[in-house]
Amino acid sequence: MSRIFITGSTQGIGAECARQLLELGHEVVLHARNPARAEAAHGEHPGALAVVTGDLASIDQTEALASAANEYGPYDVVIHNAGVGGGAAERSETGDGLERIFHINVVAPYVLTALMPVAPRMIYLTSGLEADGAWTPEDLQWTQRPWNGMQAYSDSKLHDSMLAFELAARKSESIVTVVDPGWIETQLGGPDAWDPVELGAETQVWLATSDDAIATTSGQYVKRREVLEPNPLVTDADARGELFAALERITGIALP
Q: Which residues are catalytic?
A: 153, 157
In the chain the first and final C-alpha atoms are separated, in Å, by 28
Q: Is 15 helix (H, G, I), strand (E, B) or coil?
A: helix
Query: Before 35, cis peptide (omega within 30)?
Result: no
Backbone angles phi, psi at 9, to 5 degrees: -115, 25
Crossing angle between the packed helical segments 59-70 and 108-115, to the nearest 10 degrees: 40
* Alpha helix (H) residue ranges in 116-218: 149-170, 197-209
State the Cα–Cα distance between residues 214 and 220, nearest whole angstrom: 8
